[in-house]
A and B are shown apart, each in its own frame.
Chain A
Amino acid sequence: MNAVLRPVSKARKRRDLAMRASLGLATALALVPLVLVLGYVAKRGLGAWSWHFFSTDPTGSFLGDPGGIKSAILGTILMVALATAISVPVGVGVALYLTEYGKNSWFAKAVRYFVDVMTGVPSIVFGLFVFIVLILSGGVGGYAGWKGSVALSLLMLPVVTRSAEVVLLLVPHTLRESALALGSPRWRMIAKVVLPTALPGLVTGSLLAVARAAGETAPLLFTAAIVNGTSLNLGQRMNSLPVQIFTDVGQAQDRLVARAWGAALTLVVLVLLLTLVARYMSRRSRLT
């Protein structure tokens, strides 16, 4: 600290400038991959986009027209929708338990801890688990869209729960107390005061989880499998955008690789839109 007390010397100024510049440079460096990835995906992907690309299924034909990605888009939407329908109510419910009932009890702490642990589980391990429990042990058939949804919802659950808990804790206690003081029972207080106040935040957390799930490949590989045709029945195997890209990347043919880029652009646009909407919602939220 001695040096600090002396007047700012040229050497110190130079050093300051150099360090500032290198921090700025490092930041620019951090953004280079983003620009490159998005640039390549946009350029190569747009080349593959056409009405045909979105309106046909992959044909699997070795020689002819490889087809588009209709089944992959619909599969992703359906499976993620079901996964959301499972994980958001459960996740918000658990978060409500933690904030409204469990609070700091040992049980609530245990739940919180293990939900955190779940956040760290690699997504491929969720896929393994669902394969073991729902496919290998028999009884409920082979690959199916709903099994993919289950794997995705396991992945989303901790994200939804943790973000919902944070948002619910932000709801001012005074609001809760005034509702109770007015004679409202606890369930009405939760339904009419806590949830509406926290709604934008809950939506943000859920949308971020949805965005994460939509881009996941690993949990779907051994659960929903790879098919070409469109299926709107979650009881059958289903295609999805990430799995379609994963299969097409390993192909030697340029037209399949082109399809991978086109599908990647579709997926990126989808995920980025969800992320941006989520951010917009969180800005509009009155809580922070």
Chain B
Amino acid sequence: MKSRQWLAVVPAAGALAVGVAACGGSGSASTASADPGSSASGTVNGAGSTFAAPIYQQWGSDLKKQGITVNYQPVGSGAGVAALANKTADFAGSDPALTSDDKSSIKTPVVQIPMAFGAITVSYNVSGLQKGLKLDGPTIADIFLGKVKKWNDPEIAKQNPGVTLPSSNITVVHRSDESGTTKGFTTFLSDYRAQWKSQIGADKTVKWPTGTGAKGNDGVAAAVKQTSGAVGYVEQAFALQNNFNYADVKNKSGKYIAPTLQTTSAAGDELSIPADLGISSINSQNPAAYPIVSQTFIDVHQDVCTSGMSAGNAKALKAFLNYGLTQGQDVAKQLFYAPLPSPLLSKSKAQIDKIRCNGSAIR
């Protein structure tokens, strides 16, 4: 185990490490300046989405200098919403918009704030297989249904002429927790494979017909990294961090698109925005967009103080959200998440002003 296995799995870790270190440095440098309501200090407890965890944790460590402590528990979107509902968290990170079931389980009114977009990559760990394997929705569905079992299956081969595919077995890795990443991914699959839609469906957790379950985007990344022949779906930051190879995925316009900052941003551009901002950016109509892009939200109680926060901590929460929608957007970009397009950004900012403490505005 000592060195061989690790080396085989992370052939070019160095390159990414350099890139990541560079952007980490600039991230903290750009955030030294304080934010309008900067006198706030306090503790904010958040929980939820692992998809967006890199951003929230980075924002948290940026705000530490201002005396704001952000404890973000990356436990999955499902657990985040549950934690918001039973008030063990002050805010929930959730990738999918709140459903009516979610809202009724939370009982008190909630404010839903879009924060960023991220691409869900189909990452694989197959020796001899480079980045940019071309896959369409039906094929990915068949892999996760357990119907396509080998990497050189004709279904994969016919989309990748000229690529030598190994005959090794495919090991599917999926989430075991209730996850927004899963909801995004299964929504994508349901749109392309009738069998997926009828048999499995799209939800934060589904009954997977095959594969290993792992907790969180990081857990899936870890399992993919440790298993040769594995394929899993993780947010792009996790794929880049671990130097995974990921697939170019065919979008609605029939083009194979690699996930990049541009193709991810493109998915956020032509969205219809409902009144509660409950957007969905999966399978965008934009021909330039990567098809599996998910939005991510922060959900808070409309009156945070009657839900258990002190006035001081409420102020800190507001400062955190403000930071996220101002300088934080650049930080997100450095982590390969797409910032909100400006029409959506101003609507998001307006949501923050709806938050109350014991009925009055927070200032």
Contacts and interface: CB of A to CB of B under 8 A. Distances in A.
Contacts of A227: 71, 73
Contacts of B57: 60-62
**Which interface residue of A60, A136, A254 has the most chain B CB atoms within 10 A?**
A60
Given A60-B72, A62-B241, A250 B214 contact: yes
Contacts of B10: 254
Given A61-B61, A63-B21, A63-B335, A229 B88 contact: no
A253 interface: yes
B71 A250 contact: no
B248 interface: no
B192 to A, nearest CB: 28
B88 A135 contact: yes
Contacts of B27: 63
A251 B58 contact: no
B190 interface: no
A59 interface: yes
Contacts of B23: 63
A143 interface: yes
Interface stretch (B215-223, B273-281, B293-301): B215-223
Interface string A120-146: 000000000000000110100111000
B177 to A, nearest CB: 10
A191 interface: no
A64 interface: yes
B58 A250 contact: no
Chain B interface, >50% SS class = helix
B48 interface: no
Contacts, number: 75
A42 to B, nearest CB: 14
Contacts of A59: 61
B88 A142 contact: yes
Interface string B1-38: 00000100010010000001101100110000000000
Nearest to B89: A142
A237 B71 CA distance: 10
A231 to B, nearest CB: 10
Contact of B61 (A64, A142, A143): A64
A70 to B, nearest CB: 15
B58 A61 contact: yes
Nearest to A226: B73
A227 B221 CA distance: 22
B86 interface: yes
Interface in B192-223: 214-216, 218-219, 221-222
B318 interface: no
A225 interface: yes
Contacts of A253: 218, 241-242
Contacts of A237: 45, 71
Nearest to A40: B1
Interface residues of A, number: 24
A161 interface: no
A37 interface: no
Contacts of B86: 135-136, 142
Nearest to B47: A225
Interface residues of B, number: 39
A252 B241 contact: yes
A226 B53 CA distance: 14
B174 interface: no
Contact of A62 (B13, B54, B222, B225): B54
Interface string A223-256: 0011111000000010000000000001111100
Contact of B71 (A61, A138, A229, A252): A229
A235 to B, nearest CB: 12
Contacts of B60: 60
Nearest to A67: B61
A61 B13 CA distance: 18
B238 interface: yes
Given A237-B71, A250-B218, A251-B218, A63 B242 contact: no
B91 to A, nearest CB: 13
B61 A60 contact: yes
B237 interface: yes
B131 to A, nearest CB: 17
Contacts of A135: 86, 88
Contacts of B222: 250-252, 257
Nearest to B219: A250
B112 interface: no
A227 B214 CA distance: 21
Given A136-B86, A250-B216, A252-B242, A62 B58 contact: yes
B69 interface: yes
Nearest to B239: A252
Contacts of A63: 20-21, 23-24, 27, 54, 58, 241, 335
Contact of A225 (B21, B73, B237): B73
Given A60-B60, A63-B335, A142-B86, 5 more contacts: A63-B23, A63-B27, A142-B88, A227-B73, A252-B221
